[in-house]
Amino acid sequence: MNTILRRSALGIAGLAFGAGVVAGPQAFDTTTTPTPTTSADSAVSAGAVQVEKPDMDTLIPHGTQGSQSRIDLGDEQTGNVQAIIEATKKAGMDERAAVVAIATSLQESKLENLGHLGDRNDHDSQGLFQQRPSSGWGTVEQITDPEYSTTAFLKGLKQVEGWQDMPLTKAAQTVQVSAYPFHYAQWETQAADLVAEHWTS
């Protein structure tokens, strides 16, 4: 089954997660919060220090699971990677959160900001994360905006207790509630490479 056709992101309902964490689109405040300024940020803005790219131990702290997939990205997809990273920073979340978000989008849409696909679509799932307007994620205009859709995904991720200590595929699945929960794992290496490349660019 085409992966973009799966039900996505809490889209099946406003679902109760494991460990007693309850989340749904209605529970997410999709407004962004200021990114904390670190001393490294200040130094960079002053031109004094260049921040090093995040290392793989930070990006893939638990190792990968299963065989890894990789696709070539066009300019639009690369722009969506950068938009996901910027939204992650604005949400005050770290590089690992960006890896989870990008791997999720690779699985859901191959980093393409998809509109409605008619009969080929899973209900009304759209955008980078295949979120559903009918399930409360927002309007079509909102969920096809990369910053909004990323922020909504990250709000869900924040509500997953201990997501930082989970394998990527479990963290992503807890938010997305996919019919194919292990498919996110295959994109972890490419997602980490993309974050390493673009986090400081």
Region 54-83: mean pLDDT is 95
B/e letters for 41-55, b = 16+ CB within 10 Å, e = fewer, are: eeeeeeeeeeeebbe
Give the phi and the psi of residue 95 in degrees, each rounded to 5: -60, -35
Listed by start position, the domains of the chain span: 74-201
pLDDT at residue 119, rounded to an integer: 53
What does the block give as tokens for 168?
A: 């990527």
At 172-195, the pLDDT tens digits run: 999 988 888 899 999 999 999 999
Q: How confident is the model at residue 109 (pLDDT cuts 50, 70, 90)?
A: very high
- CA neighbours within 13 Å on the CB side: how many for 167? 14
What does the block give as tokens for 117?
A: 């696909």
pLDDT at residue 114, rounded to an integer: 82
Region 103-109: mean pLDDT is 96
Q: How confident is the model at residue 201 (pLDDT cuts 50, 70, 90)?
A: confident
What does the block give as tokens for 140?
A: 């079509």
Angle at 159 between CA 2 and CA 77, to 5 degrees: 40
Region 64-69: mean pLDDT is 95
Please check the confidence at residue 13 and state whether its pLDDT lies above 90.
no
